[in-house]
């Protein structure tokens, strides 16, 4: 480790003696740098299909980085306490979210079960990093 830089330790840990696992930030380590971030929102109209099919919605977010970047996608569970879920995730088996990227766009797919679909607001957030996969 170099003799200069930035270290931030977890609450209650002495930063001068903290191990790497006890640090929240260490400038000697590779850190994720955000190239782009934003919110996602989908308000669906009431729809009910007793046959139990699924409907897919896809968000296309341009990043134009010229390479496949690292990314995180989170969804909010609006049905309960507002818990965040990181993609890919199924929420209650009725909603699932997945994401992938190419050299120009991030694609976020939201799959909803039509047998339970009422007016529904889905919200999420994305972070696209400068770090190449």
Read off the pTM: 0.69
pLDDT, position 57: 87
Q: How many CB atoms lie within 10 A of CB 13?
A: 15
pLDDT, position 61: 97
| Residue range 32-132 in CATH 2.60.40 | yes
Asked if pLDDT for residue 108 goes beyond 80, the answer is yes
pLDDT digits (tens, 9 = 90+) for 76-103: 766 556 666 667 666 555 678 889 999 9
Q: How many CA atoms lie within 13 A of 14 on its CB side?
A: 2
- DSSP lists the bridge partners of residue 110 as 57, 97
Report DSSP letters for 35-50, one per residue.
EEEEEEEEEEPP---T
Hey, where are the domains in the chain?
A: 1-31, 32-132
Question: Considering just the CA atoms, what is the radius of gyration of the chain in Å?
Answer: 19
Report DSSP letters for 12-23, one per residue.
TS-TTT--GGGE
pLDDT, position 127: 93
């Amino acid at each position: 480790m170099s003799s200069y830089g930035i270290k931030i330790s977890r609450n209650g840990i002495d930063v001068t003696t903290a191990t790497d696992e006890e640090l929240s930030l260490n400038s000697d380590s590779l850190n994720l740098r955000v190239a782009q971030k934003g919110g996602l929102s989908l308000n669906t109209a009431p729809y009910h299909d007793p046959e139990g099919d699924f409907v897919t919605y896809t968000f296309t977010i341009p990043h134009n980085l010229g390479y496949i970047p690292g990314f995180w996608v989170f969804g909010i569970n609006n049905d309960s306490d507002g818990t965040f879920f990181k993609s890919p995730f199924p929420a209650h088996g009725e909603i699932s979210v997945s994401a992938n990227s190419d050299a120009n766009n991030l694609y976020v797919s939201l799959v909803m079960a039509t047998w339970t679909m009422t007016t529904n607001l889905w919200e999420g957030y994305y972070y696209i990093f400068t770090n190449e996969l």
